Structure 1
Amino acid sequence: MNFFDAIMFPFRMAVSFVLGFFHDVLTAIGMDPASGFTWMLSIVLLVILIRTLLIPLFVKQIKASRNMQAMQPELQKLQAKYKGKKDQLSRQAMALEQQELMKKHGANPFSACLPMLVQMPFFFALFQVLNGAARAVQEGQAVGALSLEQVTQFANSTFLGAKMSDTFLGSLGENFSLNVILVTVVMILLMTASQFITQKQIMAKNMSETAMASPFMQQQKMMLYLLPIVFGIGGINFPIGVLIYWTATNIWTMAQQFWIIRNNPNPGSQAERELNERRAAKGLPPVNEKKTGKKTEEVVAPKPTGQRQQPVRKNRRKK
């Protein structure tokens, strides 16, 4: 066992145990244990469980994103202050002031990608479990917490006529299968499209004008196109079961983001303006007034009435 396998061992055991548990539950309620639909539903339930446990991290991600947007005006002033200064002392001073600025706003770029980083070990563990199923059947071995019987059922189960352990690359050459190629291509397109739409709706509706003009936005634009390409290229070597897992994860994220953007948008964003329009149509105050509980009122100075009374000293001496 190499170093990577040693690190992945507890995740592989956890994923295989939960996957086998859901499969046993679905089998107990009358579903066919060898059916690809049963295994597909087991994978979807695994996604639901993992994403439910990650909700606290998702809340932190939202807060981190909003804090990053809130600090953009001050960050732009800081960058303008040190513009053109490339000496070592200026760079160090800028880095220190930027750290203080992030500390002041409670912003942490790492928190924005924390949910994805936490998911990655489970994703690789599932990849190892599903990818090793066919080989394990030939060798007569179990995979993680899955029994040999469960591994055999999974390896022989089909999804739209393709085995759950099949891959796009594995269906070329001598093992050419047009059906597997079509299924994997459709799944890869669904996986990348759902990821693109999720990121696109954040940029289109849930960012303020200041954030849209910031360097942070430029990084977001790069990630918008880079991540779908990376996962699209990597998807040609993913088993169909892994493609189902990642597509279900992306659909969950897309629906979750849609709900957040619609009901709890970032201040100053297009989504907030649309939310206030919907609230105004229902006779409700804008969302910022709902949070503060106070209505902003214009202070008007009282108009003078009559002749101004001159001040009189009480102890005025008589001439």
Structure 2
Amino acid sequence: MIQNLIILTKNTSNLPLFGPIWNLIVSALGWIMNWIYLFLDGIGIPNIGLAIILFTLVTRILLFPTSLKQQKSSRMMQIMQPEIRAVQEKYKNKTDNASMMAQQTEMKAIYEKYGTSMTAGCLPLFLQMPIIFALYRIIMNIPAYVPSVKAVYESVSTAIGGSSAAQSLLDFGKANGMESILKTLHNLGLDDPSKYNADAVHNFVIDFLYKLNPAQWAKLPEIFPSATQVIQQAAAKSTEINSFLGLNLSTAPSAYGFTPNIYWLIPILAGLSQWASTLLMQKQTMPTATEEGDQSQQMMKSMNVMMPLMSVWFCFSFASGIGLYWIASSVFMLLQQLILNWYFGKKTNEELLQDAMAKANEKRAKKGLPPIDEKTVENRLKLMQAKEDSEEKNRMEKIAKQNLKTKESTDYYNQNAKEGSLASKANMVQLYNEKHEKKEKK
């Protein structure tokens, strides 16, 4: 059995390097999701919708330090831009190795001056990505991480025959417009029976049952009449745990086609909340008005349009539980951004610079390196400039000397003849031979 292809199982990576890390992240977040659901169940409100919202809140709090670091890096980049642009302009159209090395050295000195690095803005985002992917996996496959939820659907799977019911459920799913879900489940393992044993198919069946909406639950006893009572009990429990503000979270808005209905609120709210969150974040990091034509600004504007549209499409296509997570995540990000904007709004550029340099010097002290300050870096840049000017002066002097030698040689060989004439060329050959004959006699 290839476990990583089974939607319900937790082992999800083929990559030797990232597999253990990924599994650790997913397992930790799955434990949090299970704990939240058990807490809600303990106070009498076992609801997946509330669990998703609280789960999203907890993960946003866990990710807050990386968001803070990313925001600080964006602010520092704004402060650094004039100096970075000056260096880029200085070496514009210079492609020789010496110029490229000098540009790289000066850029590094500027980053040191501001106590940051070229990768400072990318690292927080890189750290967030595996967590975000893990969140989606958990939300899409809650029975895999919440045993009490899995038990509801496992009772039905057992009652209808487990893996032996796979073909009947496959036909049922195709007859009820569930082809896309069946595709993600490898047609309940029947695509290639040699890859999946009975336990694997049983897991596929559980995951399939979790994605049924109330109308599909109502039709299921027609296929398995002997398990009618178990199916009806599971359907009632499924409705209880998946209902949120009148919506069934296992139902995708696309299930009703393009006919407007209440489920359209999910993708619409997802798009609006994503747009507001992105706009607020860009308000803090948007370049100044003098940089209107800058490529990065144009990219930000494009993202401000594309991201909300992507949110609408994904939340229209997937189960409403994913849409609820998307909305909750965007709302919490919006609140987080308001806090960050307020925090950084109180900080002057000088204060941010001093804080960054203080932290950089702490790291340098641990490595036994001397502290850096603005004057030190500026002196280093002046020395670099002086060295570059000296090298350029020496190069020009060499060129001048070579030109002088060439001129003297040409004048010598062209004496007593018109320059460029046939006589001058013959004279040049004669003088050349005479010169070398004298050397040989000596």
TM-score normalized by the length of structure 2: 0.48
3-state SS, counterpart of residue 250 of structure 2: coil
Residue among 300, 318, 321 paired with 1:238: 318
The CA deviation at 1:74 is 0.3
Q: 1:59 is matched by which residue type in structure 2? A: L
Give the Cα separation in 1 of the matches to 2:129 and 2:341: 25
Confirm or deny: 8 A CA contact 1:15 1:126 kept in the other structure: yes
Q: What's the counterpart of residue 340 of structure 2?
A: 260
* Structure 1: stretches of 5+ with no match in the other structure: 134-141, 270-286, 293-319
1:158 alignment partner AA: S
2:267 is matched with which residue?
188
Distance 1:79 1:47, change over 3 A: same
Q: Distance in 2 between matches of 1:9 and 1:110?
A: 26
Change (3 A) 1:178 1:108: farther
Q: Name which of 46, 67, 74 aligns with 1:65.
A: 74
Could you list the per-position Cα deviations for residues 43-76 of structure 1 after superposition, in whole angstroms to 9, with x for gaps in the alignment? 1111121111222222212221121111101011
Judge conservation of contact 2:87–2:103 (CA < 8 Å) in 1.
yes
Residues 203 and 109 of structure 1, relative CA distance in 2, 3 Å threshold: farther
Q: Hey, what's the Cα distance between the residues in 2 that align with 1:222 and 1:264?
A: 25
Secondary structure (helix, strand or coil) at the match of 1:264 reads helix
Q: Distance in 2 between matches of 1:199 and 1:210?
A: 19
Higher helix fraction (1 or 2): 2
Pair 116,81 (structure 1): closer, same or farther in 2 beyond 3 Å: closer
TM-score, normalised with respect to structure 1: 0.64
User: What does residue 12 of structure 2 align with?
Assistant: 5
Q: Report the alpha carbon displacement of residue 248 of structure 1 after superposing the two structures with TM.
A: 1.1
- Aligned partners of 2:37 and 2:146 also within 8 Å: no
User: 1:9 is matched by which residue type in structure 2?
Assistant: N
1:104 aligns with 2:113: yes
Residue 27 (structure 1) aligns with: 41
Q: Residues 215 and 12 from structure 1, CA distance in 2 versus in 1: closer, same or farther, beyond 3 angstroms? A: same
**Structure ID, larger Rg:** 2
For 2:85 and 2:244, how far apart are their aligned partners in 1? 51
Identity of matched residues, %: 25
Counterpart contact for 2:69–2:124, Cα < 8 Å:
no
Amino acid at match of 1:101: I
Deviations 1:159-201 (A, max 9, x none): 34443223344x16xxx5957x642x42223223222222323
Secondary structure at the aligned position of 1:5 is classed as: coil
Match of 1:144 in 2: 145
User: Aligned-pair distance for 1:92?
Assistant: 5.0
Asked whether the 8 Å contact 1:168–1:236 carries over to 2, the reply is yes
Establish whether residue 165 from structure 1 lines up as the match of residue 250 from structure 2: yes
Q: Aligned pairs, how many?
A: 254
Deviations 1:269-297 (A, max 9, x none): 9xxxxxxxxxxxxxxxxx97xx99xxxxx
8 Å contact kept, 1:207–1:266: no
Q: Supply the distance in 1 between the matched residues of 2:311 and 2:102 (Cα, whole angstroms).
A: 38
Runs of 5+ unmatched residues, structure 2: 6-10, 14-18, 154-209, 211-233, 356-442
